[in-house]
A and B are shown apart, each in its own frame.
Chain A
């Protein structure tokens, strides 16, 4: 589903955030990218849909190269890849349902949407997705009146509304109360098992990774230092992922 070869991302001025990553994620996997903060997890995920431009290497989505693709191809590929963010990234002043409708933008024709018009089908899909995350009754509320956990559910509904085959979730629980972590991760897991979507979720918490992942990819200083099922993540392997960086 996702093929990454020789991926390298240098952020300005000269920070090597991702340093030569090769990774193939198969359809239906629940991959947790595990690592300390600053290990390059976020940059890696953002390079997978080119929110960050890779410096070198190739990313393929469902066999089609995303790197080097022209604007139109890039958009059709992005459409297949939903994204969930640590800070939810909702339009705070817009209603809940309008936020979810934004997930349909990649499919809807540009001109009507510029005037705020969506097809009836798009609205139905948006309400469906909202119901799937259990927030159907909040459709008309302003997004910023919702709790953090609810906002993240709306963001997940927005990702679902684009009918993706992959969802990238960048530290989806890091800004939430620890008690809410399992409810969001349960929701992502349900999407993975019931809809057969591929999930790539970054996490800095080992316990959460072990509880949900079918595969754990350990990141350290922009490189993959572990790749395997949770059962194989022995304490020494985990320690290697979390090891303190040597001083300069």
Chain B
């Protein structure tokens, strides 16, 4: 039984290798071109540094604003899709809707919003909001489902209303987790936002794509370096904040 499973898995992988044209020899032949590419990127052209920094700032803004709006919008959705808070009539459809919209990536949302509202950072913000809202709502609802029932019972026993029970029995237990998830999403959104510019949704990706198209690899490498530093700085700040929350 186990041997057949392994055989089937290997067969599937072999077929995918054939179908995608995966070929180590072809990769080997490409290596000189890769080296040539890297050589042409060096040294970075620092004259485009101001433009790259402006792009990086835009990217951070897109991620920050989009994540913050999503963090708030996801709150009601998170409660509505938590099994132990919402009634089955509510949370089943809410779950299905979340899973549906969550399976669409930020970049796809960006294409849609660029078509709807035009080029620039704004469709980028909308794309981040669209994806992050559903992914945070899912994380929120799982946190809510994992709470300790005890404080909820205790608050219920005081004669509190449903909203008061949520505010005093549930929220204090999940809020640190929520904030930690929001920071985590901010980190991934910074990365997602770097390529939003490729489809015209603003930020540093726009500069990267432009310089690559102009075959100005030394300018492109400056943009790449700025991107790496930006992501590392945001990751460091965010993970330090998250460590404090738990």
Contact = CB atoms under 8 A, between A and B. Distances in A.
Interface stretch (B60-68, B114-122, B161-169): B161-169
Contacts of A91: 151, 168-169, 172-173
B158 A103 contact: yes
Contacts of A157: none
A182 interface: no
Given A94-B172, A102-B168, A113-B164, A89 B158 contact: no
Contacts of B153: 51, 83, 85, 89
B161 to A, nearest CB: 5
B69 interface: no
Interface string B146-183: 00001101111111110110011100110010000000
Contacts of B160: 75, 102, 105-106
Contacts of B161: 75, 105, 110
Nearest to B155: A102
Contact of B167 (A83, A113, A158): A113
B156 A51 contact: yes
A90 interface: yes
A78 B167 contact: no
Nearest 4 Cβ contacts at the A-B interface = A106-B159, A79-B159, A89-B150, A105-B160
Main secondary structure of the interface of B (DSSP, over half): helix
B172 A89 contact: no
A33 interface: no
Contact of A102 (B154, B163, B173, B176): B154
A30 B164 CA distance: 31
Given A85-B150, A155-B154, A76 B172 contact: no
Given A93-B176, A94-B172, A113-B164, A83 B159 contact: no
Bin chain B's interface residue count.
10 to 19
Interface of B: 150-151, 153-161, 163-164, 167-169, 172-173, 176
B173 A79 contact: no
Given A90-B151, A93-B173, A110 B163 contact: yes
Nearest to B150: A89
Contacts of A77: 159
Nearest to B162: A71
A82 interface: yes
B159 A105 contact: yes
A21 to B, nearest CB: 20
Interface centre among A75, A79, A91, A106 (most CB of B within 10 A): A91
A155 B164 CA distance: 18
Nearest to B161: A110
Interface residues of A, number: 31
B158 A90 contact: no
B115 to A, nearest CB: 40
Nearest to B160: A105
Contacts of A158: 154, 158
Interface string A193-208: 0000000000000000
19 contacts: A51-B156, A75-B161, A78-B157, A81-B157, A83-B153, A85-B150, A85-B153, A88-B150, A89-B150, A89-B151, A92-B151, A93-B173, A93-B176, A94-B172, A104-B158, A105-B159, A105-B161, A114-B163, A114-B167
B92 to A, nearest CB: 20
A107 B160 CA distance: 8
A87 interface: yes
Contacts of B163: 110, 114
Contacts of B176: 93
Interface centre among B151, B156, B157, B160 (most CB of A within 10 A): B157
B159 A162 contact: yes
Contacts of A88: 150
B155 A105 contact: yes
Given A91-B168, A93-B173, A93-B176, A75 B150 contact: no
A167 to B, nearest CB: 10
A105 B158 contact: yes
A2 B172 CA distance: 33
Nearest to A162: B158
Contacts of B156: 51, 78
Contacts of A51: 153, 156-157
